[in-house]
Chain A
Amino acid sequence: MSTLKRRTVIGTVPAALATGALAACGDDTEPAAAGSPEDLDAALERGGKLTYWTWTPSGEAQAAAFTAQYPNVEVEVVNAGTATDEYTALQNAVAAGSGAPDVAQIEYYALQQFVLSDALVDLGQYGLADLEPQYTASTWAAVDLGGVYGLPQDSGPMVMLYNQAVFDEFGLTVPATWDEYVAAAEALHTADPNRFLTNDAGDPGFAQPLIWQAGGRPYTVDGTNVGIDLQDEGTRRWADLWNRMLQPGLLAPIPTWSDDWWKALSNGTVASLISGSWMPGILEGSVPEGAGNWRVAPVPSYDGTPVTAENGGSAQSVLKQSADPALAAAFLRWLNSSPESIAVFLENGGFPSTTAELASPEFTGTAPDYFGGQKINEVCVAASENVATGFQYLPFQVYANSVFPDTVGAAYTEQGDLNAGLEAWQESLEGYGEAQGFQVN
């Protein structure tokens, strides 16, 4: 940065832009008064009005079920945008000191960032830490960030989805290891240059779970001490593997979620996907042409030991701006831990984070026709038990992901070396972290 070291410190973090001309803004962000578990039931009794930001399809139905049970509480469900769009709105509201909802959906990877801006209520004060045993270890670890800053809604243990029809046509077998995976990709693309085993145009939300699965732990976060090493052994392991896919052109350069991508899934151009366990529901709902063709398998492994990572998934959190944090916490407790609410969530095709639902025979026994009668949830639940531990995201992960295309993404477009891209990303993140006042090492 610069040589100007003598700075007058005028404000603090939450009062971000409160300096000077607009001195008042940020004042609303007072820390919520300490609460207790009894507050929650009292709050439900007392009632009130809550605003809940979510893009979960079952959001409205869950809120309706809640109001049916607790008629004194009115919940307004607002779809303030999907993922980063919502974070923009949320971050704006936090910066402005007003306008935030009572409860908001936040993906696990972004949670740290809002914790750091002091935007979220620690639910531990309401005794919600006791709910820990209800959730899978990996999702609980994602919300337990030196305080319980949310309750897990869903989880996304990674699995591989593949198009059996294409596999049969080209005589491919389901790869169990990454070496087999690369071989299958080569075989398919050689047999038909218009087909690809999978697509990847550079997506941080995909690369990081793969790094995680490969044993990479590139980020270490301890308060404001941040370690970034995008060349640790596991990360390099992934990059070396993926270079073998990227450089010979075995990855379809189609951005995931684009219209091109949906079409490529529909017509078999892309023959398999590695994605979270929520993906089967989406395929079934939105790629009707694939009916009967798709199957689910574990993610290929490096050495034969089944291991996977979490890809996606969200928690819901209570915002400090909430006028009634106890009521918000009570709603949240019901939303993400009551069987009634989770049942609604599952009906809408969500993949749960609660161990009871994951273990229920009803859940694991479903054998959808779309997947040729395969009991896909058995695979997914097994994956949820094989999620590697100890992966942390950065406290500025939303920003980090936004500059991924500038650095690693460039390696994708050039079909170059991902390790070089990762190094560039690291440099960019270190610069940002230091400029933001973190101790980066």
Chain B
Amino acid sequence: MPTALAAPRHRTIHHRARRPRHSVASPRKSLALTLLMGLFLAYALVPLAWLFINASKTQADLFSGFGLAFGDSFALWDNIVRTFTYDDGIFLRWLGNTLLYVVLGAGGATLLATLAGYGLAKYAFPGRKAYFAVILGAIAVPGTALAVPTFLLFSELELTNTPWAIIVPSLISPFGLYLIWVYTLESVPKELLEAARIDGAGEMRIFFTISAKLLAPGIVTVALFAVVATWNNYFLPLIMLSDPNWYPLTVGLNQWSEQASGVAAEPIFNLVLTGSLLTIVPIVAVFILLQRFWQSGLSAGSVKG
């Protein structure tokens, strides 16, 4: 995995290295620091390497041999096929559900957070202070424990066991709101807005034609975090859904894991591991994809100052 990730990165690194910022902040690379940071790298990667190695084992190999060594047979492909075909291909269905929740949930969350963060930063509207305080205060309430009232409210509206029960709560990203608020303060000059207003542009139009472009790096970042949050969502679907046909990957995988217990126990640890690996791959891919936009955006932001 590391080499695959390193390839696209290298180009950007050379690109960055040519920029003047680095001539200021001491351009000489430090091997010692790099090695020290290698510990971070190892910490992040060893568990993932363990997952990859063990996803390539058969159930029998899992129960014998060293964890960080490959088993007698390299069964990754076999495991992947079984993961996708097990129980009439329910894994694929979970993948599709997750994508649905991510596209609508994270997409919507990004839009709402961007609008609201921008509005909070640029308009002294009545109730602004209370707005911010309420949002900050409310996120301190354990979401998990609000699950019961949320569940009961949603079941009143017959939203439980539907995708909406997952999507609607995903639309709120207080962190995204905060991030856009900060970005707006940093990167959208008041003068620009004033100039546009003098030209007679409406507020929404100003936002979409001028501000949104300036906010692009922030928006991509918020989208990134929203995607991760939705992809990782576990507790809400666990409570809201009883039909596995609507499960996202996380809940489905945990169900597979718990299948190893009780009267009808049928452990499929190899599929849990392979499924876990497969669950990580798309989100990593999305991250790399977004990272390239995000990085250029960030750099642009820092150069502009």
Q: Quick one: given A82-B255, A92-B151, are A55 and B264 in contact (CB under 8 Å)?
A: yes
Q: Is B73's CB within 8 Å of the partner chain A?
A: no
Q: Are B152 and A25 in contact (CB under 8 A)?
A: yes
Q: Within residues 80 to 139 of chain A, which ones have a CB less than 8 A from any CB in chain B?
A: 80-83, 85, 89, 92-93, 95-99, 107
Cα–Cα, bound, A262→B242 (Å): 28
Of B119-127, B134-142, B156-164, B195-203, the one touching chain A: B156-164
Partner of B244, one of A78, A256, A263, A286: A78
Chain B residues 245-272 with CB under 8 Å of chain A are 245, 255, 258-267, 269
C-alpha spacing A150/B242, complex, angstroms: 21
The answer to whether A98 touches B155 (Cβ under 8 A) is yes
Q: How large is the interface on A (under 10, 10 to 19, 20 to 34, 35 or more residues)?
A: 35 or more
Which residues in B have their C-beta under 8 angstroms from that of A262? Answer: 63, 260, 267, 269
Contact with A along B145-188 (1 / 0, CB 8 A): 00000011101101011000000000000000000000000000
Q: Which of B60, B151, B152, B242 contacts A80 (CB 8 A)?
A: B242
| B65 CB to nearest A CB, Å | 11
Q: Are A85 and B255 in contact (CB under 8 A)?
A: yes
Q: Give the Cβ gap from B279 to chain A, nearest Cβ, in Å.
A: 18
Check: B278 CB closer than 8 A to any chain A CB: no
B266 touches A83 (CB 8 A): no
A79-B258 Cα distance, complex, nearest whole Å: 12
Residues of A294-348 at the interface with B, using a CB-CB cut-off of 8 Å, are 312-314
Enumerate chain B residues within 8 angstroms of A154, measured Cβ to Cβ.
263
Q: Which of A268-296 contact B (CB under 8 A)?
A: 276, 278, 282, 285-286, 288-289
Please state if B262 and A257 are interface contacts (CB–CB under 8 Å). yes
Q: Is the Cβ of A93 less than 8 Å from the Cβ of B265?
A: no
Q: When chains A and B are docked, how far (Å) is the Cα of A172 from the Cα of B131?
A: 72
Once the chains bind, are A99 and B152 in contact (CB under 8 Å)?
A: no
- Closest B residue by C-beta to A101: B242
Residues of B within 8 A of A313 (CB): 263
Whether A257 pairs with B261 at a CB distance below 8 angstroms is yes
Question: How far does the Cβ of B244 sit from chain A's closest Cβ, in whole Å?
Answer: 5
Q: How far is the CA of A286 from the CA of B153 in the complex (A)?
A: 42
Q: Determine if A22 is an interface residue (Cβ-Cβ < 8 Å).
A: yes
| B144 lies within 8 A of chain A by Cβ | no
A82 & B243 in contact (Cβ 8 Å cutoff): no
Give which listed residue, B63, B258, B262, B265, contacts A266 with CB less than 8 A: B63
Q: Name A79's contact: one of B160, B255, B269 (CB within 8 Å).
A: B255
Contact A96 B151 (CB under 8 A): yes
Nearest A residue (CB) for B268: A286
- Contacts between chains A and B (CB distance < 8 A), count: 99
Query: When the two chains form their complex, are residues B259 and A82 in contact, meaning their CB atoms are under 8 A apart?
Result: yes
Choose from B64, B155, B261, B267 the contact partner of A99 (Cβ within 8 Å): B155
Residue of B nearest to A156 (CB): B263
| Complex contact A259–B243 (CB within 8 A) | no
Q: Within 8 Å of chain A (Cβ to Cβ): is B298?
A: no
Within 8 Å of chain A (Cβ to Cβ): is B103?
Answer: no
Is A173 interfacial (CB-CB < 8 Å)? no
Is the CB–CB distance between B260 and A25 below 8 Å? no
Query: Is the Cβ of B258 less than 8 Å from the Cβ of A82?
Result: yes
| A82 engages B158 (CB within 8 Å) | no
Distance from A132 Cβ to chain B, minimum over Cβ atoms (Å): 23
A321 CB to nearest chain B CB (Å): 12
Provide the residues of chain B in CB contact with A266, threshold 8 Å.
63-64
CB atoms of A79 and B152 under 8 A apart: no
Partner of B63, one of A56, A80, A256, A289: A289
State which of A82, A98, A267 has its C-beta within 8 Å of the C-beta of B64. Answer: A267
Contacts of B243 in A (CB 8 A): 78, 80
Q: Which residue on A lies nearest to B88, using beta carbons?
A: A60
> Inside 8 A of B62's CB, which chain A residues have their CB?
263
CA distance A70 to B59 in the complex (A): 39
Cβ–Cβ contact B265 & A282, under 8 A: yes
Does the CB pair A259–B239 fall under 8 Å? Answer: no
A99, B152: Cα distance in complex, Å? 11
Chain A residues within an 8 Å CB radius of B63: 262-263, 266-267, 289
CA distance A154 to B263 in the complex (A): 9
CB-based nearest B residue for A90 = B242
- Please give me the residue from chain B that is nearest to A266 by CB atom: B63
Q: Is the CB of A22 within 8 A of B156?
A: yes
Query: Do residues B263 and A312 form an inter-chain contact, with CB atoms below 8 A?
Result: yes
Task: Check B155 against A96 for contact (C-beta < 8 Å).
Answer: yes
Least CB distance from A42 to B in Å reads 29
Residue of B nearest to A278 (CB): B263
Task: From B243, B264, B265, B269, name the one whose CB has the most chain A CB atoms within 10 angstroms.
Answer: B264
Given contacts A80-B244, A289-B63, A313-B263, 14 further A-B contacts (CB under 8 A): A22-B153, A53-B242, A55-B259, A78-B244, A82-B258, A85-B258, A89-B242, A98-B158, A262-B267, A262-B269, A263-B62, A263-B63, A289-B64, A350-B264
Among all A-B residue pairs, the 8 with the closest Cβ atoms: A257-B261, A96-B155, A89-B242, A266-B63, A80-B242, A312-B263, A263-B63, A282-B265
Interface residue ranges, A against B (CB under 8 Å): 17, 22, 24-25, 53, 55-57, 78-83, 85, 89, 92-93, 95-99, 107, 154, 156, 256-259, 262-263, 266-267, 276, 278, 282, 285-286, 288-289, 312-314, 350
Q: List 26 A-B contacts (CB under 8 A).
A: A17-B152, A25-B156, A78-B243, A79-B255, A82-B255, A82-B258, A82-B259, A83-B262, A92-B155, A93-B242, A95-B152, A96-B155, A96-B160, A99-B160, A156-B263, A256-B261, A257-B265, A258-B260, A262-B63, A262-B260, A262-B267, A282-B264, A282-B266, A286-B267, A289-B63, A313-B263
